[in-house]
Amino acid sequence: MDEVELLRSWGDVEAAPDEASVHAARAALATEVNHAARKPRAAMASLEAWARRRTEGGLGKVAMIGAIATAAIMTQPHVPLGLPGHRALGWLSLLLIMRLVGGTGWASFIGLASAAGTMAIHRSPNGTFWGVAQYVLAGIGIDAFFSAMPRAARNPFLAAGICGVLLVLVGWITPVSNSFVAGVPLNGIWVSLASVGAGGWEKLISYDLVFGIGAGGIGFAVAWVLSQSWRDLGRRVGLRAGL
Amino acid sequence: MPILSDEELIAAARSDPGQFTGLFDRHYATIHGYLRRRLGPELADELAAETFIRAFQDRRRYDPERGAVRLWLFGIATNLLRRHHRSEHRRLAAYARSPIEDRQEDQTAAVDSRVAAQALGGGLAKALAAMRDQDRDVLVLIAWADLTYAETATALGIPIGTVRSRLARARREVRRFLPEVDAWQPQSAEPQPDDPPAARTKGVVLHG
């Protein structure tokens, strides 16, 4: 007999777990299993309850506006202005409207849904997530800014200003990713960026800034209309304007 | 209804959590037996239950490529047991101190090997208590869970060479605490890869 055999023969070799032990362990596992089976439903219910609180009961209506906004961003018609950033007049203003009428989180949610939807219908400018990442990042930026500075939701200049800044920050992602996806190496992209003269940068930034501010202005105005001129209608449909 | 394999059950449990109870029915007694021999019945009840709960919670992380479900469960049980190494030490120390006549199984043992094992129980307990925790994990997985070297390596997530070296250290520790080991003679046959684990352990024979 070797050490392992010796050890194998030592102790209570034959004892099986008693019924009470099996029963208790099975009950503990069953609790865990039942909890896991309920979890997705519970998580969805909590999310829905949170969304209802945020929209003060108008979840259905805000969700409807959100769906329209998402569809509009996904399928934004081409406006042949040929100027950099002009599409933001549509998508960025819709994100701002969603934040102002729905509250915190809606701009990010719609940005994400729009990005996913645009990818799903193969309308991303370069076929990758980077082509639509600006919706997500701008949505997150809007939510973060208005969370940090709630009074901006009552100030059209601040709301427009942050949209201008956000568009300058995210507007370069799609064109740069276009080059990257097309196979241009990183150093090539860098050389190309570095070769843009000061005048060129001024022009690019100015366009993004102007169209971003324009989008902010449009978004604020639409939300203002919903909350002021159409206050009663807004209340009836459950809108909660942050104005 | 076809009987699902362990791997199929765990895959099914990802979308239908209730399927996991099938694994409990199959393996609870084995895991409990392993833990009971190391920690005693009370802690074994607690840890065996926790092993299955932990396995259930981690069911999505189970990778069939890395070994059978049974080995995965032994690995979880051994990891959980590390929190209780002090309890295991105390239990072994108490066993080593207790006189032989206090141990009922010594008087009732009918099989020679068991008689020998019970007679040497005090030394075994001392040896198990003295060896490094990781060496003891390897030794008892092979002896009490009846795993092969390769299975032990899979359960513990270590290379098979490490299993061999830890087992060699554990054997040396056993021999250090058992003077009777001098009477043991090495078995002549070299272990073969396909032999069951008991036959593959380094051979020493206890005569008499």
| Mean pLDDT, range B167-173, rounded to an integer | 91
Residues 9-28 of chain A whose Cβ lies under 8 A from any Cβ of chain B: 9-13, 15-18, 21-22, 24-26, 28
In SS3 terms, chain A reads as CCHHHHHHCCCCCCCCCCHHHHHHHHHHHHHHHHHHHHHHHHHHHHHHHHHHHHCCCCHHHHHHHHHHHHHHHHCCCCCCCCCCCCCHHHHHHHHHHHHHHHCCCHHHHHHHHHHHHHHHCCCCCCCCHHHCHHHHHHHHHHHHHHHHCHHHHHCHHHHHHHHHHHHHHHCCHHHHHHHHHCCCCHHHHHHHHHCCCHHHHHHHHHHHHHHHHHHHHHHHHHHHHHHHHCHHHHHHCCCCCCC
Whether residue B59 is predicted with pLDDT greater than 80 in this model: the reply is yes
Name the residue of chain B whose CA is nearest to A2's CA: B204
Minimal CA separation from A6 to chain B, in Å: 5
Q: How far apart are CA A220 and CA B92, in angstroms?
A: 75
Name the residue of chain B whose CA is nearest to A36's CA: B17
Tell me what pLDDT residue B97 has.
72
Interchain contact, A9 vs B117, CB within 8 Å: yes
Interchain contact, A30 vs B140, CB within 8 Å: no
Contacts of B78 (CB under 8 A, 6+ apart): B137, B141, B155, B156
| Amino acid at residue number A7 | L
Q: 3-class SS at B185?
A: strand
Q: Does A1 touch chain B (CB under 8 A)?
A: yes
A-interface mutation test, from B10, B27, B36, most A Cβ less than 10 A away: B36
Whether residue B150 is predicted with pLDDT greater than 90 in this model: the reply is yes
Q: How far apart are CA B55 and CA B47, in angstroms?
A: 12
Tell me what pLDDT residue B180 has.
66
Of A6, A22, A37, the CB nearest to B116: A6
Whether residue B176 is predicted with pLDDT greater than 90 in this model: the reply is no
A-interface mutation test, from B118, B201, B207, most A Cβ less than 10 A away: B201
Q: Model-level pTM?
A: 0.51
Tell me what pLDDT residue B49 has.
92
H-helix or E-strand spanning residue B184? strand B184-185
Of A8, A29, A37, the CB nearest to B53: A29
| Mean pLDDT, range B21-41, rounded to an integer | 90
Tell me what pLDDT residue A212 has.
92
Q: Does B36 touch chain A (CB under 8 A)?
A: yes
pLDDT tens digits, one per residue of A100-131: 888 888 899 889 888 888 888 888 777 788 88
For strands B205-206 and B184-185, give the pairing. antiparallel
A25 neighbourhood in chain B, CB within 8 Å: 24, 28, 32, 45, 48-49, 52
The tokens describing A86, both together, are 């002009």
Task: Give chain A's mean pLDDT.
Answer: 78
Whether residue B186 is predicted with pLDDT greater than 50 in this model: the reply is no
The dihedral formed by the CA atoms of A199, A203, A206 and A207, expressed in degrees to the nearest 10: -170
Whether residue B199 is predicted with pLDDT greater than 50 in this model: the reply is no
Q: 3-class SS at B67?
A: coil
Q: Does A30 touch chain B (CB under 8 A)?
A: yes
Task: Give chain B's mean pLDDT.
Answer: 77
Q: Does B202 touch chain A (CB under 8 A)?
A: yes
Tell me what pLDDT residue B43 has.
86
Q: How far apart are CA B2 and CA B23, in angstroms?
A: 15
Q: From the first residue on, what is the mean pLDDT of each consecutive set of 10 residues in chain A (243 residues)?
A: 77 74 89 79 64 63 77 71 78 89 85 86 79 89 90 87 91 77 72 71 84 91 71 54 45
Interchain contact, A9 vs B111, CB within 8 Å: yes
The tokens describing B95, both together, are 């066993």
pLDDT tens digits, one per residue of B73-114: 999 999 988 888 777 878 887 777 765 544 444 444 445 555
Of B28, B114, B146, the CB nearest to A25: B28
Q: Which position has the higher pLDDT, B58 or B109?
A: B58
A34 neighbourhood in chain B, CB within 8 Å: 17
Q: How far apart are CA A37 and CA A33, in angstroms?
A: 6
Q: How far apart are CA A33 and CA B10, in angstroms?
A: 13
